[in-house]
Amino acid sequence: MEAIEHPQSGHVHPVPATAVWTIPNAISAVRLVLIVVFGTLLAAERDAWAIVALAAAGITDFLDGFLARRWGQVTRLGRLLDPAADRLLTAAVVLGLAFRDVIPWWLVAVLLARDVMVGVGLLIAHHHHVESPQVTFVGKVATAMLYLFLPLAYLAVVAFPSWGIVSAIAVAGASAASVLYWYSGIGYIRDLRARTPRRDAPQDVRPDDVTGLG
């Protein structure tokens, strides 16, 4: 079973690491559905409901990780599903907002390039049977900042089109978040590389684990 730090009596319901049907995993699956809902509403210019769907998706991002740790339900599927849902939501938001001329395309390229880098690293690591790294504090902060500033940019254009300063602040904040986003991504790649067996290493020697960033 996966270990949980500082378990509290009455709140921990540990499950095997191979478990699939857990509440945190179900919440991550709901976030995947909300991504489709958000994209559909954004394309239809149902902006108020799109913001509601995006806010709900942001709440699920907090809940699944919090409950998984609190209840001892950190599973292998969850360690794949949670970051995958985060990456898909980020891609849906930045692409949708760029198509609506809310954010610049260069910001889209910066954010998606980081996700491609991490995605390729994960594929290579999984080929060598290396588990995904734990989401770091820096990564969570970067994602939270994107969830704050990207919707703010959306609101600035949709609800307050005459408030150019709000849009400028939102884009600047999203740009700062992208720096942390890349910083965390490089940390994940370093973690994966350290735990991936080298071809020239003896079979009975395992690389030292690293803690990542955060």
For tokens 């999984």, the residue is 126
For tokens 């684990």, the residue is 209
Crossing angle of the two packed helices 164-195 and 105-127, in degrees rounded to 10: 20
Low-confidence ranges of the chain (pLDDT < 50): 1-10, 205-214
What pLDDT is attached to residue 65?
79
pTM, 2 dp:
0.73
Contacts of 161 (CB under 8 A, 6+ apart): none
Tell me which CATH code domain 23-195 carries.
1.20.120.1760
Q: What are the distances in angstroms from CA 124 to CA 87, 94, 121, 128?
A: 18, 26, 5, 7
Tell me if 146 sits within 8 A of 79, measured CB to CB.
no
Structure tokens that stand for 213 in this block: 């960033």
Query: Under DSSP, is residue 63 helix (H, G, I), strand (E, B) or coil?
Result: helix
Structure tokens that stand for 149 in this block: 């500033």
What pLDDT is attached to residue 187?
94
Q: What are the distances in angstroms from CA 184 to CA 23, 85, 126, 134, 214?
A: 27, 17, 19, 11, 8
Tell me if 203 sits within 8 A of 138, measured CB to CB.
no
**Cα angle: 22, vertex 184, 174; to 5 degrees:** 100
Q: Other C-beta atoms within 10 Å of 209: how many?
A: 10
Structure tokens that stand for 210 in this block: 């690293």
What pLDDT is attached to residue 7?
43
Tell me if 10 sits within 8 A of 66, measured CB to CB.
no
